[in-house]
Amino acid sequence: MIILYRQPSLSVKPLISDILCARWLIYRQEILNYIPIFLSYLNGNQMVEAEFGESNTVELPRLTSNLSIANPSELANPALPENSVAIIPIQGVLYAGKTQEIINTIRMAEANPSVGSMLFLVNTPGGMVFLTDLAAETIAKSPLPSVAYVMNMAASAGMWLVSATNVIYASSQLDRFGSIGVKTSFTDVNGFLKEKLGITVYDLYATKAIHKDQEVRSLLAGDQQPILDDLDFTNEIFHKTIRDNLGLKPDSEAFSGAMFNAPRAIELGLAHKIGTLEQAIEEASALGIKHKLISLINHH
């Protein structure tokens, strides 16, 4: 086995701020998994990085075919074999910093003339709205053809990203695709802080700052509409991107927010085929060769 890549651990304090303030494109169960951690934090217990630790170590089998693959740490190497396939993980919850790292890795692959294509190894419940659209646009507009290989799940923000690739593989009929929609969560902890910790929170606004924190202030007053308007705005962009990338109709069941197993996802157009990782790498390599030949013909 070849140990491919491990995402550097994220610092806890920025992560807490990101989680509490972000809008999300994520499968709901993943957010619920964090509730015990935050309750512990609010009770004064220190949070450690291990509690947020996600093993983003990805392993690849040794290839039987004569193909060259390059992991992110190798993409700056000018001596890579011709038509190497850049392997780029999309793993775990997509916090903004991780999504930015995906964009950076794509740029590195594009800058190396020996790289002919990209293969994204995907297993994610989704993540933050922030940077998801830019990362998907980076994939879609890249001069390098791309293949997504989903192992277990491509949900919400993950689905947004893989929709921008040329071919989407599932590793198994049990893989899941979908959760196409936008959500946010709001927790009013003021009562808890006052009753349990003796802390009273006061929010004071300048006289003319009538719309500052409008969404939250309206929600606390019983009006959800400002938040719903913002979610609907983002949701429409999400749906349009999926429609444009995958050629789906607006009334497709894919836009219901549900998750679908791989065979049903293929029927709906959210994925293209079920195959092995080596088959996906072979297709990425073939797309890279085809793209280079077309570029040479057009150049002459």
Number of C-beta neighbours around residue 274 at 10 A: 18
Count: domains in the chain: 1
Name, of 28-37, 41-50, 171-180, the range with top average pLDDT: 171-180
More confident position, 17 or 288: 288
pTM confidence score: 0.82
Query: Which long-range contacts (C-beta less than 8 Å, at least 24 apart) are formed by 100-106?
Result: 100/131, 100/135, 101/7, 102/135, 102/161, 103/131, 103/134, 103/135, 103/138, 105/72, 105/75, 106/138, 106/139, 106/142, 106/144
What does the pLDDT average to over 91-103?
93
Task: Give the CATH number, domain containing residue 12.
Answer: 3.90.226.10
What does the pLDDT average to over 120-132?
94
Looking at residue 32, what is its pLDDT? 55
Looking at residue 190, what is its pLDDT? 77
| Pairing, β 115-124 against β 69-70 | unpaired
Q: pLDDT by residue (tens digit) across 181-227? A: 988 777 777 777 778 788 888 888 898 988 898 888 898 889 999 99
Tell me which residue range forms the domain holding 225.
2-299
Residue from 179, 181, 182 nearest 261 by CA: 179
